[in-house]
Chains A and B, each alone.
Chain A
């Protein structure tokens, strides 16, 4: 119920936080919204000696426009991302996924960067950021570096962020005018998906001009349904072509088998959900 003892620092700048990380190294853990970390600490699955709270660093919070990208600060709470008009206009897939993530209380505290850094393969945001070709800005001792969504997710709960680094923001190329749909299957309300498909598409004159599809809980990391995307680019935006293409949704997946469903079941259901997600995205794009 109660975490093991730890010491606590709450820096007010990224530089101070990085210095604290360098000082306490392996013994420290970053705290964002705490909505995944605090349950872990309470169940004593982890017992860091130091907690470095990013909650007092104002520069990590907020959504802004930067040329052809929307930039979401790592510490922006889900509830703020979910109601942000810029995000809704230029990255509608994120708005839709956030609306279905956890519950209202968790969305008030949990953060966009925290959820992605946590890299739960069943997390609701991994699919969307992959489908939208997001980029991750990571700060370290030698300045910042940018990592593509394809390279960010390394393995179960493992990302490209190293132990002495901090995720500062996520840049999403504007997908203005793209339709979007998030298809999530859950066993009970306010929980992680058994499987989820996030699709966003641009339609020109009845043809699918471009499309991005991300999958959650279909492998150790969020995946991209590359086969389906390839099969759909340049095709007519019709149910027949979508149905045929979505037969490829399970290509390259390695889903878990657990109490909620076997791997075979997930590989089947992902095709159905992919069709629904793509049809929803096409409808949103005016097809």
Chain B
């Protein structure tokens, strides 16, 4: 067992874990954060995406011990304390960027990372930025629209004049 201390969705946690425990297992099984899901065995699908010290990672491909000392944000930590949805969550709802919803936690976490690095991505940049996240339902169309919508709304929030281009839900 190895002692780890980290912050998960703003909460300090400390646990003894087996070194082989994956971060996604730790989140789901130890902390009950089942919002983060497992969709594959090969680190291809991206459903398990969380932020580790502000950067997106596939939590099935990180050991919990590697996250010692770090801050983790999961889909459960994205909304405001009062339940206000994050603009990207809001955009997925508004544009219906999901069908079964299984890929959605990872899609949203990766979309937030994408917009952090590139607030005004082109459609091509959105598709490339989400290449590590697979969706078996939507054909990606509404997911791309949701990211465009969020991009416009995040920019509008940042610039009160709302200069950014508006994308309306399909």
A residues in contact (CB < 8 Å) with B: 1-8, 10, 31, 34-35, 38-39, 41-43, 51, 53, 55, 79, 102-106, 108-109, 189-190
Contacts and interface: CB of A to CB of B under 8 A. Distances in A.
Nearest to B114: A104
Main secondary structure of the interface of B (DSSP, over half): mixed
Given A104-B110, A109-B57, 10 more contacts: A2-B25, A31-B63, A34-B61, A41-B20, A55-B66, A104-B114, A105-B58, A106-B43, A189-B128, A190-B131
B89 interface: no
Chain B contact patch, size range: 20 to 34
Given A6-B19, A39-B42, A79-B55, A109 B62 contact: yes
B61 A109 contact: yes
Contact of B65 (A10, A35, A103): A10
A104 B63 CA distance: 18
Interface of B: 2, 18-22, 25, 38, 41-44, 46, 49, 52, 55-58, 60-63, 65-66, 68, 110, 113-114, 128-129, 131-133
A35 B65 CA distance: 15
Nearest to B22: A2
29 contacts: A1-B41, A2-B20, A2-B21, A2-B25, A8-B19, A10-B65, A10-B68, A34-B66, A35-B43, A38-B63, A39-B61, A41-B20, A42-B22, A42-B60, A102-B132, A103-B46, A103-B131, A103-B133, A104-B110, A104-B131, A104-B132, A105-B46, A105-B49, A105-B56, A105-B58, A108-B52, A108-B56, A109-B58, A109-B62
